[in-house]
Amino acid sequence: MMQSPEVHQLTDSPKKPSFLKRLILVVLGTFAVFVIGIQFVPVDRSNPPVTQVVDAPQEVMAIFKRACFDCHSNETIWPWYSKVAPISWVVAGHVENGREHINFSTWDEYDAEDRTDMIEEIWEEVEKGAMPLPNYVRLHSEAVLTEADLAVLKAWTGGGSGGHEDDH
């Protein structure tokens, strides 16, 4: 009504974002759309049926359950961050890959030779600290293997005895 064009100019011009601000907004906006978008990529977080659990004494099982089952069984406990892409892709990849190598929930799928090989490998991996995966241990302090755990695993796997060295 009575407002003069100058007033408009005064109120409008400071609101006009600078080129840099607009650029930042566009980058952030694109990033947000991307982050939201990737959440819709399907990730397999299934826990297939357990057909036969590895046959191991209770003290060994306790270690496996604590430190290995999330990646080497069909009883994976999927943490909240396993539902957020792109971390979910890494976690699901570890589980898929881990289960492929050795799955304590499908022990019936392995013959005697497979089992012997796996048990040997378990000690090899654990002894050199490659398993459980160090990144996993960082987020799961309960998966740290103590000297006592190592002793239990060493005894069960026959680690260091050199018992199976001949057949490879």
Distance CA 114, CA 93 (A): 23
Q: Which two tokens stand for residue 150?
A: 């190592």
CB atoms within 10 A of CB 140: 16
Q: Which residues bind ligand HEC (CB under 6 A)?
A: 67-68, 70-72, 94, 97-98, 101-102, 121-122, 125-126, 131-133, 136
Q: Strand, coil or helix: what is 106?
A: strand
Residue nearer to ligand HEC on the CB measure, 11 or 161: 161
Distance CA 65, CA 75 (A): 9
Residue nearer to ligand HEC on the CB measure, 30 or 114: 114
Nearest approach, Cβ of residue 153 and ligand HEC (Å): 7
Residue nearer to ligand HEC on the CB measure, 5 or 134: 134
- 152, 59 in Cβ contact below 8 A? yes
Nearest approach, Cβ of residue 163 and ligand HEC (Å): 17
Residue nearer to ligand HEC on the CB measure, 16 or 168: 168
Nearest approach, Cβ of residue 40 and ligand HEC (Å): 25
Residue nearer to ligand HEC on the CB measure, 38 or 64: 64
Helix, strand, coil percentages (3-state) for the chain, rounded to 5, are: 65, 0, 35
Nearest approach, Cβ of residue 102 and ligand HEC (Å): 5
Nearest approach, Cβ of residue 51 and ligand HEC (Å): 19
- 54, 64 in Cβ contact below 8 A? yes
